[in-house]
Each structure stands twice: as C-alpha cells, then as structure tokens.
Amino acid sequence: MAPKKRTGGNGPRGGTPSKTKPPGAGGNGHRHVAALILARGGSKGIPLKNVKMLAGVPLLGWVLRAAVDSKKFTSVWVSTDHDEIEKVARAWGAQVHRRSPEVSKDSSTSLETIQEFCRLQPEIDVVCNIQATSPCLHPFHLTEALEMITEQGFDSVFSVVRRHHFRWQEVNKGSPKVTRPLNLDPLNRPRRQDWAGELCESGSFYITTTHGIMNEGLLQGGRVAYYEMKAEYSVDIDVDIDWPVAEQRVLRYGYFGEANPEVVRLMFLNVSGCLTEGRIYLSKSGEQLVSVNTRDTAGLRMLQRENTEVVLLTSAVDSVSPPLAEKLAEMTGCKVVQVGAEPLKELKLMVEEKKLGWRDVAYMGCDTQDVGCLNLAALSAVPQDAPSVAINAAKYVCHSAGGAGAVREFAERILLQKEKAKAQGRSEGSV
C-alpha cells in the first residue's frame, strides 16, 4: 500500500498550496519535468559505487528503473564525469549530461551541479533530483510526489522519513563529555506511541522548479511540502558497511520492474553458459559430455513445483547432440528446444502459441544472441561471467557463474518475487 502524502510547513518558507496554479501545473504535458541523477565517478567512501552491483543490478539502475517506469518524466538524465557510469546510464534508458570539471570536484555541491545542468537545458521547468544511493525507490513514490508539484501547486517537494530518536547536543567534545537534550524532556520521556516523532530528510529525492534553483539558489524554496516515505523504503548507502544491509533491504522492498512476478508462467533457459559452464567434453568414442550442477537442477524443480514451465534452449552452435538433449530433458523434466542464431523470432511464436505475453516470461541467457529476449522478458538474468553486452541487457546479474549455481540463484529470485507479490496482494486486500 502506498504511503500517505503529507504536506506541511518548512520553517518560514512552509505553507499551503497556492490557490492559483502556475502555467502548466495541471499536468506534466505542459511542463518539461526532468529526472536528474547525479553520479560522479570520484566517490571516496565506495569507489565507483554508482555502478557497483547491488542485488544483481548496478546501484544506478535501481533508481533509473523507478524513474523510467513512473512514466511521469519528460526526460530522464544522469549527470556524470565518468565513461563507465555513462555507459550504464544509457543502458538503463537515461540521457547523459557530461558535467564540467568545475562541478566534478570533491568540493562541488549538488546545487552547483544541478544549476549547470539547468543552464544547459533551458527547456526544463521542473527538476527531480533523485539520489542514486536510494535503491528502494518505487515509481509510485515519484508519481505521488510529482502530483504535489503539478497538481497541487507546490514549488518544492522533498522526501522524508519519520524517526523516533531522542537527540542530545554535544556541548563539550573533550572530557568530561557534557551534553544537553535537544528534543526531549528527560523528566517526561514520552512513549513511542504517544510521540509523533520527527521528520528527517530521507535523501531519496528533491523536486523543485528551475526558477527556484537558478534565481533563488534553493532546492527547497517557495511553497515547500514534504513527501513521507515508509522506513523500509528509506535506504541510503554511504560507506562499505551499508552495502550488505542495503542488499537485504532491496531484495525485500526494492522495485523490480513493471512485471508482476506472480504471473510468470514460462521460463526460457539457455543451456550452454547458464545450465552448463559452456563446455562440451568429447570422450574417446566421440560421445558428448557436459557438467550440470545439482543445485541448478534443484532450482528448476523448485520452479516447476510452483507452476512455472521451464524450456531449455540449445542451438546448432552449441553442438548439443540429440541424445544429450534427450538426457537433459530426462534429468530436468524440462522440454528441450533447439533455436537458431536469433532465438527471439522462434520464441515469440512459442509465447503466442501458449497464449502468453512477455510479461509472463522469465529468460536466462549469457551472450549476444540472448539480448533481445533479455530486454523483452519480464524477468531476465545472466550469469556473473556473462559478457558486458548481455549484462547490460539483463534485469539481474547473478553472483554465480554459469554451471556453478546461477540457475538456482535466478530461480530463487523468481520465487522470492512471487512470494513478495502474493504478500503485497494479501496486505492490500486486508486494508
């Protein structure tokens, strides 16, 4: 269930929405609303963290997916000074602003970088600065927050999370360590249920007009409102120790795309390089041999028990003989189909014959010929050792290599998302 939108003051600049909307405020169609992710290459805490893999996806990919799938932005941009970040940004559907050296320093501020972007893109009316380090962002967060700008007439909206922390001020940094309370009376400590808590910036996004950015030098100016996010979605990554915590959180609360994993009914799996390590051994008598990991075959059985049909794909290039294909079918309980150099053409027909859509399909491949299917399938994955052309097309990159547990890992991901979708359905149905 989406969190409630809350609006309120922000000190002297806070206030109620304007009664007269600015031109074009009735919808994004009249105003150029841009999403902008700042992704400098010189991160000190975690080097190149913006493209480091988090739960199988580049960190930058999580927020780009949410921005693109919200369908609320006229354009989606990444501002960077690094070639690898640019490559990932384009692969995830963003345009790229190559920032100048003047705003690429350790001392450069976000505001300076955004102002440079706005000067070079004068057609933009509203900028939504999304933090790349907020991987649990969902499209509905952006949609609801943008409505506060485009429909309710606010000039600035930013994300917050409600915290119930008792805070103390450091008076003396030496010894003795003298302190005093900031937000509580020690003689009357409130119970959590009796205290509304405090609103803290979550850092997920800041939306404001270019007028406020350029003329006032503010990301939170004019008529200001806040958008409250639930704590489970408020994840930030700054140092190495944050990474494993964020990975577990994003697996449970992250946004995995428009597809509803609960309705995935069919999985295509490339045998060579996914189910096997990509090698075929020949005995002295000319008999073909392959190595198959038992964890992977167990993963296939897990999918089948959950009513997901699995089709194994071979090709003439793989040189998988009919006897070997027959043995694979017997061992896994899956149908084996030989496809040509462009499997997408044949698999499209198969999907149509089964009266399914690609939103019902998961695909696991490992090379150039799989790119079309990886892009089209609702859920797609490649092994850890796949080439970059396949990695850039996949929605998930396994930690394991082909033939070494990657299939089991992807199977668990599919089942996790099925369970997550069912749980969300139960939760929404009980409200």
Q: Which residue of the set 90, 189, 252, 279 is catalytic?
A: 189
User: 3-class DSSP state for residue 124?
Assistant: coil
Q: Is residue 189 flagged as an active site residue? A: yes
- The Cβ of residue 356 has, within 10 Å, a number of other Cβ atoms equal to 16
Residue 383 burial class via C-beta count within 10 angstroms: exposed 0-12, middle 13-18, buried 19 and up: buried
CA dihedral 233, 67, 237, 109 (to 10 degrees): -130
Cis peptide before 244 (omega within 30 of 0): no
- On whether the CB atoms of residues 278 and 402 are closer than 8 A, the answer is yes
**Paired strand residues for 96:** 78
**Paired strand residues for 80:** 98
- On whether the CB atoms of residues 273 and 374 are closer than 8 A, the answer is no
Q: Which residues contact 61 (CB under 8 A, 6 or more apart)?
A: 88, 92
User: What element of type H or E holds 110?
Assistant: helix 110-120
Q: How far apart are CA 299 and CA 313, in angstroms?
A: 17
Q: How far apart are CA 26 and CA 43, in angstroms?
A: 39
Concatenated DSSP letters of 235-277? ----STTHHHHHHHHHHHH----SS-GGG--EEEEEIIIIIS-
Q: How far apart are CA 380 and CA 373, in angstroms?
A: 8
Q: Which residues are catalytic?
A: 189
